[in-house]
Amino acid sequence: MSPTAIGYLRRDLSGISQPWDEIQIRSAAKNLGVNLAKTVTFGPRTAQPIRQLLELLESTGATCVICPNIEHLDGAQGQLTAAGYTVHVVAHESRASLWAAAMRRAHRWLAI
């Protein structure tokens, strides 16, 4: 049985990129070979989000957290790793580099 992970993000940090962040979390879980139990989304008004995350990790038996970037953890990466959890941060490419790559692919296709 593969290890279990929890996806974690903050709505206020993801903003309009939240659907993309969620896709990236699912993709990272697949690439890591872990079972993504769920993705939790907290907002700026969520009381003690890291405590809630730790409770969820414990109740699900998850061993790792996957988040879009380190800012979503609000400085709690050390607390999570000290508690024995692995933290995976999804590496984002900038929108400009994604656009440039798409244009290169389109250019190659048009040149055929």
Domains and CATH numbers, the chain: 4-111 (3.40.50.1390)
pLDDT grade for 89, boundaries at 50, 70 and 90: very high
pLDDT at residue 23, rounded to an integer: 93
pLDDT > 90: percent of the chain: 72
Give the pLDDT confidence of 70-81 residue by residue, as tens digits.
999 989 999 999
Using alpha carbons, list the distances in angstroms from residue 11 to 8, 15, 16, 22, 26.
Answer: 10, 6, 9, 11, 17
